[in-house]
Amino acid sequence: MRQLTYSDTQRHYMQEALFEADQAGLIGEVPIGAVIVHDGQIIGRGHNLREHANDATLHAEIRAIEEACATLRSWRLEDCEMYVTIEPCLMCSGAIINSRIPVVYYGARDPKAGAVDSLYETLTDDRLNHKVKVYEGLLAKESGERLVSFFKAARQRAKAAKKARRAAQKAATDKTLDSPEKS
C-alpha cells in the first residue's frame, strides 16, 4: 500500500533503519537496514552482514528479527512493526510471516529480488494464515539512493581493478618480450 504522508514518528523509525543501512555501507556491505518497534521502543535492529559473516542468511531483517525475539523472549513478534529500507526478499518475507509481524514499512522497491510487491506478493497472499499490513515508500528516495550509489561505486572499483590488472599484464608481457634482447 502506498501512503502519501507519514507521521514524524514513522519517519523517525525509518531514519533509524537508514542509520543501520549506513553501518552496513561503511564496511562495504550492501546498505540495507531494519528496525523493529514494540510499544514505542526499538527492540531489534540490524544491517546486512552477509560478506563479513560469510552467511547468506544475514540480511538486515533477519538480524533485527533475531534481536527482537531475544528481547521479547518470544518467537512471536505480534505487537511489533518493522521498518526496513528496501523491499524484503523471499527469505526475509518468510521470516516476517513466521515471526507474525503484523505491520511492515519499507522504503524503496527492489525490482530484482523484492518479494512483497515486485516479484511476489508474499506478505499479502490470501492463501497464508498470517497477513501483513504493508506500507511502501517511506523515505524511499533516501533508501534507494544508498543502494544506487553503493553499486555505482562497486562498479567503478571493479573497473579500476580490471584496468590495473590489464596494465600489470601488459607490463609483464613487455618485459618478457624485452628480455631475450637484453640477455
Catalytically active residues are: 61
Judged by beta carbon, residue 92 or residue 132, the one nearer Zn ion is 92
User: What minimum distance in Å lies between the beta carbon of 28 and Zn ion?
Assistant: 18
38 is in an annotated binding site: no
Judged by beta carbon, residue 56 or residue 177, the one nearer Zn ion is 56
User: What minimum distance in Å lies between the beta carbon of 183 and Zn ion?
Assistant: 59
CA 125 to CA 23: how far, in whole Å?
A: 33
80 is in an annotated binding site: no
59 is in an annotated binding site: yes
User: What minimum distance in Å lies between the beta carbon of 95 and Zn ion?
Assistant: 8
Judged by beta carbon, residue 57 or residue 169, the one nearer Zn ion is 57
- Note the residues at the interface with Zn ion (CB under 5 A): 59, 89, 91-92
Binding residues: 59, 89, 92
User: Binding site membership for Zn(2+): which residues?
Assistant: 59, 89, 92
